[in-house]
């Protein structure tokens, strides 16, 4: 293996920085984009931009504001306590981060949080070495053992030790199978309800620190994507492009990568497959090591984390030594822009999801969405979270979704014309008091470049 070796020729270079025994020869189109030293051309103003964002992030203040918002929301729903086991909820309520790991790793080392509406410090039940410093020893406990026949009794004993014997209204998100089989054991002591609503309301509006985390994650993601896009040439392997992306994102300051990076060729006709149960384009497919072919139209979707907050970078790229969209592809891009602009005209406090769906209209005789996804999703500690607009929950749910300041929305319309393929990109905006502020960049290469 040769490390840190980049051989340059006049207009292309061979990348073998990591492991040339397995890496394909990737010609890079523009000499200078990947410099001979391995350095990349940073987006103009990168350093100032990152400094500004970092200044806006105070993780302890972020946690204090999240806790306050959660307890206020609990009060409004008459909940005395919530017991949270789902990672993003645990993180939101306590600051205990969800490991960036396979779900099996997390399940083998479970954490839980009990938030009491009248107590500003949550009780954390965990073996993790990452207990936040604001959790004192009275609120730090061993992990909950809630498997087996007496799981409900043991859970109630743990709750009672924090809250006393009085009957309480308790919201719970995730159950173990053992608890599900003996809910009565908890209902004897509590008015039991789901915690999905309280957590969705609390988490859907972000404080300034949360917004800054998302903005930083998105900025890193966009830079990393810009740095590796020239690798999408005929003959490149998908998994090697993905590897370059995650490596670059880490070097730029990402805490981790949260999804198989998707650089997924979409066939122009649905009957070219793969089969889908709803007859929609197959997206997003899992990572693989297929070879990219000249002219492949790739729907790109990637996401990284900063302080637990996700980015969401979606674009449409074309595999080519010299990507030049066709007239049809350009028209689809313009149609996508049209949908986004119509929707953004309506974005602001008080607008309903139904109004946004109406603004999106129809393109080529269909809603400009993939029917198994949405027109809009929220983003935060999960890459897709409430508010969800345009899902299979239906128009009634859309009409109940009312925008509020602090919501961060990912707009991801999809234009599809069978036979010509489709265009998909994602824009991220923050709902403000008087409209919105765009958090994602304006580079839609190769369709339109910010530069």
Partner 1 sequence: MIRPGPEQLSSAAVDDGTPIDFNELRSARMRKVQSVMSDLRIGLLLLGGEANIRYAVGGRRLWTAGERPWAPTCIISASGEVRLMSQYDTGVPPEVSQENLFCLTWNPANFGAQIAAAASGGIERIGLDGASMTMMDVLDVAVPGATLVDASGALLDARSSKLPAEVTLLELATQLAGEALLAASRTITPGITISELRGRLEAAIRSRSVCVPADSDRLALPVRSVSDLVSSGDAIVMRSALLHAGYEGAVTRTAVCGAPTPDHRAAERAWQQAWEALLPVFSPDLDGAGLHDALAAIPAVDLRKSTARAIGLGVERKIGGSLHPHDPLREGSVVMLELTTCHADAEVTAGCPVIVGPKGGVTMTTLHPAPIVVCGS
Question: What 3-state DSSP class applies to 179?
Answer: helix
**Residues 6 or more apart from 262 whose CB is under 8 A from it?**
284, 285, 287, 299, 300, 301, 302
320 near partner 1 (CB under 8 A): no
Q: Identify which range of 56-64, 140-148, 159-167, 334-342 contacts partner 1 by CB under 8 A.
A: 140-148
Residue 377 — φ and ψ, nearest 5°? -135, 155
Instruction: Give the integer Cα–Cα distance in Å for 356 and 363.
Output: 15
Binding partner 1 (rule: CB under 8 A), the pick from 84, 117, 179, 211 is 179
Q: Identify which range of 6-14, 68-76, 250-258, 441-449 contacts partner 1 by CB under 8 A.
A: 250-258
**What is the DSSP code string of 198-243?**
HHHHHHHB--HHHHHHHHHHHHHHHHHHHHHGGG--TT-BHHHHHH
Closer residue to partner 1, CB minimum distance, 81 or 344:
81
Assign residue 390 a region (left: φ > 0; alpha: ψ between -120 and 50; beta: otherwise): left
72-131: which residues touch partner 1 (CB under 8 A)?
Answer: 86-88, 98-109, 127
- The CB-of-216 to partner 1 minimum distance in angstroms stands at 14
Residue 182 — φ and ψ, nearest 5°? -140, 50
Q: Identify which range of 48-56, 159-167, 384-392, 426-434 contacts partner 1 by CB under 8 A.
A: 384-392
418 near partner 1 (CB under 8 A): no
> 415, 332 in Cβ contact below 8 A?
yes
- For residue 132 the two structure tokens come to 């936040």
Binding partner 1 (rule: CB under 8 A), the pick from 7, 11, 22, 400 is 22
419-448: which residues touch partner 1 (CB under 8 A)?
Answer: none
Helix residue ranges per DSSP H, 317-377: 327-346, 353-360
- The CB-of-318 to partner 1 minimum distance in angstroms stands at 22
> 95, 87 in Cβ contact below 8 A?
no
251 near partner 1 (CB under 8 A): yes
Q: Identify which range of 281-289, 292-300, 346-354, 443-451 contacts partner 1 by CB under 8 A.
A: 281-289
- The CB-of-134 to partner 1 minimum distance in angstroms stands at 21
Eight-state DSSP code of residue 366: B
Binding partner 1 (rule: CB under 8 A), the pick from 8, 140, 169, 247 is 247
- The CB-of-262 to partner 1 minimum distance in angstroms stands at 8
- For residue 87 the two structure tokens come to 């990672």
133 near partner 1 (CB under 8 A): no
- The CB-of-451 to partner 1 minimum distance in angstroms stands at 26
Binding track, positions 181-200, relative to partner 1; x by CB under 8 A: x-x--------xxxxx----
3 near partner 1 (CB under 8 A): yes
Binding partner 1 (rule: CB under 8 A), the pick from 72, 118, 187, 288 is 288
> 173, 86 in Cβ contact below 8 A?
yes
140 near partner 1 (CB under 8 A): no
405 near partner 1 (CB under 8 A): no
Helix residue ranges per DSSP H, 369-451: 395-400
- The DSSP H or E segment spanning 83 is strand 81-84
Query: How many residues would you count in the chain?
Result: 451
Q: Other C-beta atoms within 10 Å of 75: how many?
A: 12
Binding partner 1 (rule: CB under 8 A), the pick from 321, 392, 438, 450 is 392
Binding track, positions 26-65, relative to partner 1; x by CB under 8 A: ----------------------------------------
- For residue 373 the two structure tokens come to 């996804």
307 near partner 1 (CB under 8 A): no
- For residue 125 the two structure tokens come to 């039940």
Instruction: Give the integer Cα–Cα distance in Å for 172 and 159.
Output: 12
19 near partner 1 (CB under 8 A): yes
- For the chain, give the longest Cα–Cα distance: 77
Nearest by Cα to 140 from 110, 113, 165: 113
164 near partner 1 (CB under 8 A): no
Closer residue to partner 1, CB minimum distance, 283 or 436:
283
Q: Identify which range of 7-15, 50-58, 65-73, 268-276 contacts partner 1 by CB under 8 A.
A: 268-276
**Residues 6 or more apart from 72 whose CB is under 8 A from it?**
none
Binding partner 1 (rule: CB under 8 A), the pick from 6, 8, 14, 23 is 23
């Amino acid at each position: 293996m040769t490390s840190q070796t980049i051989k340059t020729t006049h207009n292309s270079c061979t990348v073998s920085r990591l492991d040339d025994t397995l890496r394909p020869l990737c010609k890079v189109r523009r000499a200078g984009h990947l410099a001979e030293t391995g350095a990349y051309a940073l987006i103009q103003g990168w350093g100032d931009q990152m400094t500004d964002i970092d200044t806006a992030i105070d993780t302890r203040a972020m946690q204090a504001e999240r806790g306050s918002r959660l307890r206020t929301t609990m009060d409004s729903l008459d909940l005395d306590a919530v017991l949270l086991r789902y990672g993003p909820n645990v993180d939101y309520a306590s600051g205990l981060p969800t490991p960036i790991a396979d779900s099996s790793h997390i399940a083998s080392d479970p954490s839980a949080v009990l938030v009491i509406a009248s107590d500003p410090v949550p009780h954390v039940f965990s073996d993790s070495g990452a207990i936040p410093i604001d959790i004192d020893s009275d609120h730090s406990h061993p992990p909950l053992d809630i498997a087996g026949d007496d799981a409900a009794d043991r859970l109630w004993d743990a709750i009672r030790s924090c809250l006393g014997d009085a009957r309480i209204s308790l919201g719970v998100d995730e159950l173990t199978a053992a608890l599900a089989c003996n809910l009565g054991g908890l209902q004897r002591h509590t008015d039991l309800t789901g915690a999905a609503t309280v957590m969705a309301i609390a988490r859907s509006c972000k404080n300034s620190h949360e917004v800054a985390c998302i903005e930083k994650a998105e900025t890193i993601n966009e830079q990393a994507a810009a740095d590796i896009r020239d690798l999408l040439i005929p003959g490149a392997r998908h998994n090697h492009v993905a590897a370059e992306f995650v490596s670059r994102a880490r070097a730029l300051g990402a805490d981790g990568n949260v999804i198989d990076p998707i650089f997924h060729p979409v066939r122009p006709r649905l009957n070219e497959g793969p089969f889908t149960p709803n007859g929609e384009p197959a997206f997003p497919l899992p990572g693989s090591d297929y070879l990219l072919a000249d002219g492949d139209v790739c729907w790109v979707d990637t996401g990284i984390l900063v302080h637990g907050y996700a980015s969401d970078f979606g674009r449409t790229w074309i595999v080519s030594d010299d990507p030049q969209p066709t007239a049809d592809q350009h028209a689809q891009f313009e149609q996508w822009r049209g949908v986004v602009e119509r929707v953004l005209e309506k974005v602001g406090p008080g607008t309903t999801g139904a109004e946004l769906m109406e603004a999106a209209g129809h393109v080529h005789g269909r809603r400009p969405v993939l029917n198994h996804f949405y027109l809009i999703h929220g983003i935060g500690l999960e890459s897709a979270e409430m508010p969800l607009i345009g899902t299979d929950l239906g128009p009634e749910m859309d009409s109940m979704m009312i925008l509020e300041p602090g919501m961060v929305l990912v707009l991801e319309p999809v234009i599809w014309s069978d036979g010509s393929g489709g265009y998909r990109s994602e824009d991220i905006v923050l709902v403000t008091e008087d409209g919105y502020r765009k958090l994602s960049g304006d580079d839609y290469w190769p369709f339109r470049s910010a530069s």
